[in-house]
Amino acid sequence: MELIFSPTSPYVRKVLVAAHELEIVDQIKMTQVTTTAFETDSRLASVNPLGKIPTLLRDDGPALYDSRVIMRYLNERADGALYPEGRLWDVLTLEATAHGISDATVSMSYEMRLRPENEQSPSWIEAQWEKAARALDVVEARWMSHLFGPLDAGHIGMGVVLSYIDLRHDVRKWRDTRPALAAWHAKFSERVSMTTTRIDG
């Protein structure tokens, strides 16, 4: 398998954390590309029409893309337990919540980092943060018992996106009003899969 990636993407990191947890990371060749929302890497575009990362090239079918699809594939390949049947809908909902927070906060980053200052929209940035903050409040209120349970794909998605917020939007101080989630993230961040894939810049 070959994973086309960019090192600071939270979507890529989710896949890498999953691969470490499933103990199949050594089966994946890593190919780094430079790609942005404005300029797509040509090789990436040739295997993924959306031009997004991560994209997984496999020997048993066409390329896979979207981190959730890739994680599901890796889980099946490794006969893993990231999507347990008995609580599948909870797992998928928490995974989707984390993915939505990623979408909102990555969109904020694009607005602030890729557009000239005079073209940025503060109202757009705040609207995206409102979505993320609302979702984090729901996780704090409703999902902590799940997060403190056995590891699944929802844990990985949430752990990674909280670290991404720390990296790109630490000024938002998400921990101040979400102590249970903050405590969980501190513990989750100690996992080998998280320390090995940590993004520093």
Give the chain's domains with CATH numbers: 2-77 (3.40.30.10), 85-192 (1.20.1050.10)
Q: What is the pLDDT of residue 36?
A: 74
- Contacts of residue 164, defined as CB under 8 A and 6 or more positions apart, other chains included, come to 10, 13, 102, 105, 106, 199
How confident is the model over 74-123, as pLDDT tens digits? 999 999 999 999 999 999 999 999 999 999 999 999 999 888 888 989 99
Q: What's the predicted TM-score (pTM) here?
A: 0.95
Supply the DSSP symbol for 112: H
CA 153 remoteness from chain centre: 10
Measured at the alpha carbon of residue 94, what is the angle toward residues 108 and 159, in degrees to the nearest 5? 60
Tokens 């995206």 — which residue? 128
Cα 5 from Cα 56, distance rounded (Å): 9
- The 3-state DSSP class for residue 68 equals helix
Name the band, by pLDDT with cuts 50, 70 and 90, for residue 5. Answer: very high
CA 32 remoteness from chain centre: 17
Cα 63 from Cα 110, distance rounded (Å): 26
- Percent share of the chain, pLDDT over 90: 83
Average pLDDT of the chain is: 95
